[in-house]
Amino acid sequence: MAKRAQKPAKPNVVAQARSGGKKKSSQPASRWLWENFKSLAGAILIYLFVKTLFVEAYRIPSGSMIPTLQIGDWLFVNKLAYGPTIPFTNAHLPGYASPKHNDVVVFESPYQADEVAAGREATPTLVKRLIGMPGDTIYMRAGTVYLNGIPQRLGFTSGAWQGDAATANSIDPDFEWQHKFEVKGTRFGQPPAQPIHDNWGPLLIPPNHYFMMGDNRYCSKDSRYWGLVPRDNIRGRPLFVYYSYKPGGDPTDPCNGAVSDRPLPAITDIRWSRIGHWIK
């Protein structure tokens, strides 16, 4: 007796409906890699765009700005304010503000030969307070800064170490740059033959340059040492502290401020009261 021919199996209608009536095909690995690469590259480009033109994070590594800024503060820096720097150049796009007296400013330091000799970066990014502007005459007598003959208030340095006699009278080879900008025979008095930490100037600030100092003046290496900051070196203005913790360190060092005795202080000793602190 002849066998009946088998009927072809009916297609699975439900499976076809779920797959849209098309055969499922696996995506080639090369295409998967390309799609992920594009996503990652796009994210990096957006990050670099924002970092270059708008906002950048910055960490405070030293006590030169105590009490305004503490070691362990993390800041957001507004790069749009003074005009963002065009990548790979020192040229600036237009900003909506100009640097002015007493602004806290982030900038690229002038060349520091002693830092190179110590194996560190020659032109580190720093944050200081703008004390002298183009056309100003600035000098220090007995630890007091005078701007165009007017003594400047010390409110910014309240609570910071006020130094000692050895520091006040210290001489540093880095002070020698000042002689080029000294002015003589004026109502501000004669500059000392040898500038010292607490007695220098008067200095006349030339166009497109600024004189920067740390609020904690006896723990700050600033324009007294490495000179005037060109306008093109200015990178931005700090906005606020977005994270802060009490760092470890030597508690007897007056330039450290408050230090932590806890393990992993970045997690265990957070300064909650400083988070969101606006910088002035």
Is the confidence at residue 150, as pLDDT, over 70?
yes
Residue 93 — pLDDT band, cuts 50, 70, 90? confident
Note the pLDDT of residue 27. Answer: 65
What's the whole-number mean pLDDT along residues 25-33?
Answer: 72
Give residue-wise pLDDT tens across range 33-50: 777 766 777 766 665 655
Note the pLDDT of residue 16. Answer: 56
Give the other-Cβ count within 10 Å of 55's Cβ: 14
Is the confidence at residue 52, as pLDDT, over 60?
no
Q: Which amino acid is it at 221?
A: K
What's the whole-number mean pLDDT along residues 87-110?
Answer: 88
More confident residue, 23 or 259: 259
> 82-93 burial string, b = 16+ CB within 10 Å, else e?
bbbbeeeeeebe
Question: CA-to-CA distance for 229 and 123, rounded, in angstroms?
Answer: 11
DSSP annotation of 60: -
Structure tokens at 137: 């005459």
Structural domains in the chain, sorted by start? 49-274 (2.10.109.10)
User: Which of 16-30, 59-73, 120-134 shows the lowest mean pLDDT across its residues?
Assistant: 16-30
Note the pLDDT of residue 238. Answer: 96
- How far is residue 171 from each of residues 112, 194, 197, 203, measured CA to CA in Å? 17, 8, 7, 17
Instruction: Please provide the average confidence, as pLDDT, over all residues in the chain.
Output: 86
What's the whole-number mean pLDDT along residues 95-103?
Answer: 93
Note the pLDDT of residue 162. Answer: 75
What's the whole-number mean pLDDT along residues 255-264?
Answer: 91
**Of 201, 152, 151, residue with least CA distance to 175:** 201
Residue 31 — pLDDT band, cuts 50, 70, 90? confident
Percent of the chain at pLDDT > 90 equals 60
Give the pairing of strands 209-213 and 104-108.
unpaired
Note the pLDDT of residue 172. Answer: 94
Give the pairing of strands 104-108 and 234-244.
antiparallel
Give residue-wise pLDDT tens across range 207-216: 999 999 999 9
Note the pLDDT of residue 279. Answer: 95
